[in-house]
Structure 1
């Protein structure tokens, strides 16, 4: 069963519609303004199998050189829950506005078997193509 990805369909990340949520980031019409927005758009890119977007938003220091999406693997993404965006909790304690952390749980089926991906993702914001952009650096798995 394929998931609709028309502009009027709900955004896979949980937003109202793809056109008003992650769609502008995936198409290149807009730049994600926060680490959480980037994380949500990356989740949507995984749902859509959009490897070019995933690679372009991955920090060069940790970006994989081999393919990250296996077309042979049967993946069904079931939902995303953002647990926390650390900047919101630590705004006063953190001085570095160019680093952020987002904790999330993504539910999926891999070859029919249900799985949970619980990750604390690290992001950095730095100049690229003439403006500041957020990039995914790496993540840890807190279980």
Structure 2
């Protein structure tokens, strides 16, 4: 992935430019300081197709051996519903979110309560419960 091929505005809808928001995490220039920041950066990684970042930020105990993204899916909006703990001095956190997507003309929503842990100063996505 290279930054020139990415959107000007960050896909996580923070209102910042991609390069100064999630792009700096994707490029390894910084690490996400909170569970919510990691959630936003992972959503943006799905949006820009950065599978390497997704795998690197998945907890080793639950990380799949490989990940193949569906190129037909367009991630169009992220709504953070709630965050519990997950701050810079916590070791665990949860983030509830809705991720809106499109596949052709069909629209969908993925709602999840994600669990995160911080180890050695880095946040990792562990797993989540999908809300039906």
TM more than 0.5 = yes
Corresponding residue for 1:84? Answer: 82
The alpha carbon displacement at 1:122 in A equals 0.1
For 1:121-132, what aligned pairs fall within 5 Å after superposition?
A: 121-127=114-120, 132=121
Distance 2:45 2:17 in 1: 14
Q: Following TM superposition, by how much is the alpha carbon of 1:142 offset from its aligned partner in structure 2, in angstroms? A: 2.4
Moved over 3 A (4+): none
Cα distance in 2, alignment partners of residues 55 and 111 from structure 1: 26
In structure 1, the partner of 2:13 is 14
Structure 1 residues not aligned, in runs of 5+? none
Q: TM-score, normalised by structure 2?
A: 0.88
What's 1:5 paired with? 6
Match of 2:112 in 1: 119
C-alpha contact (below 8 Å) 2:55/2:67 kept by paired residues: no
User: Considering only aligned residues, what root-mean-square deviation do their CA atoms show, in Å?
Assistant: 1.8
Question: For residues 112 and 55 of structure 1, what CA distance do their matches in structure 2 show?
Answer: 29
Question: Aligned residue pairs: how many?
Answer: 126
Greater radius of gyration (CA)? 1
Partner of 2:99: 106
